[in-house]
Structure 1
Amino acid sequence: MPLLNSYRVIYLTFFVCLVADIFPLPIMFNAFRPNWMILVIFYWIIALPHRVNIGHAFILGLILDLIIRFNIRDAWFAVFIVGVFNQYQFPTFS
């Protein structure tokens, strides 16, 4: 089984992004911190749209909200909107 055909790599990158999002940085570097989850969702929806879709973006956004802010605010919506835009902007013709 090729490495990219398994879900383990995808879920491992999601886990690494969650850890990178909660990892503390010095205050002067917080302005330059990217939103890793949006970047990875964007990549996986383009690379493997038949495996990662809008549902993954929605669930990961909710998890990100619950881990970082302990209540549901706006991260789930941002990740979901990026997923929707990405899926319809780059359709696959397979």
Structure 2
Amino acid sequence: MSELPGDLKEIIESCLNILPKDRPTCEELFEKDIFNQYKNTLATNKSNTYEPFEIFTINELYHWWQLAGGDVLQELKKQGLIRSSPPILSLPQ
């Protein structure tokens, strides 16, 4: 990290604060001098990948995902966010 410019180090360190309230917002970051070269440019390389999906609501996409076999509980189990246990183990003792 010693080869990085000082202002870039400052940005990285400020973004790595533990408390979110101490982190800079996007607007605050964009005001830094390191981003001056991008302020007057227009985004001309917009991808066409997402355009067909922009006309659907999140509820419609979720419904289609379920119809295609999507399972929320299975995805949560895969990520280790929930664990299933046999019902007999959840009885009061």
Q: Shorter-normalised TM-score: what interval?
A: under 0.3
In our comparison, the structure showing a higher alpha carbon Rg is: 2
Task: Return the structure number with greater relative CO, CA threshold 8 A, min gap 6.
Answer: 1
Give the TM-score of the pair, scaled to structure 1.
0.27
